Amino acid sequence: MMRFDQELNTRGLKCPLPILRCKKALAEIKAGQILKAYATDPGAVKDFQAFCKQTGHIMLSLEESLEAETTVFVFHIQKKAA
């Protein structure tokens, strides 16, 4: 199990809210810390990947799990160095 410094739940939210909440959460943590984010919007996968590529944050992992017959995407994102 990967360690993390902050958790973000965007289950049930549609684009662009998961990315906007992720951006805000990353602004609240220190460089090098890890954000664990949950999303149910399938579009969030490409959005989070593009966001990390554009901003320099590092996507450490992307996992899928099932919760009550709903696919949940779990991201571990490390905030870029200052």
Phi, psi of 54 (to 5 degrees): -75, -35
The closest alpha carbon to 45, from 75, 4, 23, belongs to 75
What are the chain's domains? 6-78 (3.30.110.40)
Q: What is the pLDDT of residues 19-29, one digit of tens each?
A: 999 999 999 99
Strand order in the sheet with 58-67: 6-10, 34-39, 70-78, 58-67
Residues identified as active-site: 15
Q: What is the pLDDT of residues 31-82, one digit of tens each?
A: 999 999 999 999 999 999 999 999 999 999 999 999 999 999 999 999 999 7
What pTM, to 2 d.p., does this model score? 0.95
Question: What DSSP element (H or E) covers 2?
Answer: none
